[in-house]
Amino acid sequence: MGEVRVSRRGFAIAGLSAFLGGVVGAAIGRVALPPVEKTVTEVKTITSPVLTTQTQLQTVTVTSPVVTTQVQTVTLEKPIVVSGTQIVLENLPLIQTIPSTFRFDYKYVAERAFSAYKAVCCGFGVGDALLGTLIDQLNNTPWSSLPGRGAYDPTQPLGASRYKPPLYDPDKKDYKGFTGFFRYGCAGENMWGMTCGAALITSMIMHMLFDKATATAAANQLLWSYAEEPLPKGELVDYLVSKLNFTENVDYVRLEAPGTTMCHAVASNIMAKAFKSGITDNTKLLTIRSNTCALIVADMAVRAAQIVNNYLETNQIPQKYSQPAIAKTCLTCHGANVPSPYRIFFNMNSYCDTCHKQGWTHP
């Protein structure tokens, strides 16, 4: 999850008090000693899969009938998460830190994803719509301790104006809250035009939340639906289009199944479809691309939220994914079952003919 340094004297003292209180409680009734006053100076480092805090305690005077030695350090060997001011031992996956009664509100997620795209980019759009929502809405959990709580204002008009300084810098289109690192997904991974940030970061979040097998199934479903189904689509996209008063082929376009998760290919198809609809002004074409990408981000964020909600309710991942037929065809020669030295092995669940067009001369 990365590391966030937080200095909270109250949190640190509460943790120390809980530790010493346990020592006291365990010994009362077994040892009857006069009160002994001890000065405890401690530097405590707590490592967590959610955050890391390093707190320098001031001198603390502890009066106890059982404390007889000076405590120098407290070491916790297990991974922990922080709940409010209490230390709670937990294990991954992080889905365990989300209350089973929690459910994403799809309209809220769609609006936040659209606005986050307009504020920063696609990767941040889905990342903040999902994890930013957990940070804002889950009280007394590890999420509520992460920076960024309250930076999103849903009362403002849809768009970048929903993100507030000082965490959001509108001039640099940058966000300094916890979810800001999802900017990595922008424009196909760090502006390289590779995997679309909406597909990449939703898949990454599945692996942040779930164990490997569950995350793989969830990510497969997201990547498959991105490539195989119309985009953007669904009632939540229609909700945004209506709220924004958008007109199809004027303000945005819809794609048939893109057949790929590649940013460059999808963005090019958006521009081509807009151009074929009669729009030739370059500024207008770029606006249509931006609006369409924002709707795709909202669409993918909602699909990921639906997967999480379904898992919280049923402990299952809905699975419509299947390997494309073209990939199966190519893997008859380029798969693991072909013996060396003739095998050129690839792991492939996408559409080979996005780049390797049928009819081309095979090398």
What is the tens place of the pLDDT at every residue in 139-182?
988 899 899 999 999 999 999 999 999 999 999 999 999 999 99
pLDDT score, position 192: 94
| Mean pLDDT to the nearest integer, 277-293 | 96
C-alpha to C-alpha distance for 89 and 126, rounded to whole angstroms: 29
In terms of average pLDDT, the best of 128-132, 185-189, 262-266 is 128-132
DSSP letters along 90-135, please?
Answer: --S-GGGGS-TT----HHHHHHHHHHHHHHT-HHHHHHIIIIIHHH
C-alpha to C-alpha distance for 336 and 67, rounded to whole angstroms: 64
Q: Show Cβ contacts of residue 240 under 8 Å, excluding neighbours closer than 6 positions.
A: 110, 111, 114, 158, 246, 295, 298
pLDDT score, position 85: 36
C-alpha to C-alpha distance for 280 and 117, rounded to whole angstroms: 24
C-alpha to C-alpha distance for 181 and 228, rounded to whole angstroms: 28
pLDDT score, position 334: 64
Are the beta carbons of 252 and 192 closer than 8 angstroms?
no
C-alpha to C-alpha distance for 191 and 102, rounded to whole angstroms: 34
C-alpha to C-alpha distance for 215 and 204, rounded to whole angstroms: 9
What is the tens place of the pLDDT at every residue in 219-268?
999 999 999 899 999 999 999 999 999 999 999 999 998 888 999 999 99
CA distances from 345 to 232, 331, 334 (A): 33, 8, 5
What is the tens place of the pLDDT at every residue in 11-44?
334 443 444 344 334 433 333 444 444 444 444 4
Residue 120: pLDDT band with limits 50, 70, 90: very high
pLDDT score, position 49: 44
Question: What is the reported pTM?
Answer: 0.71
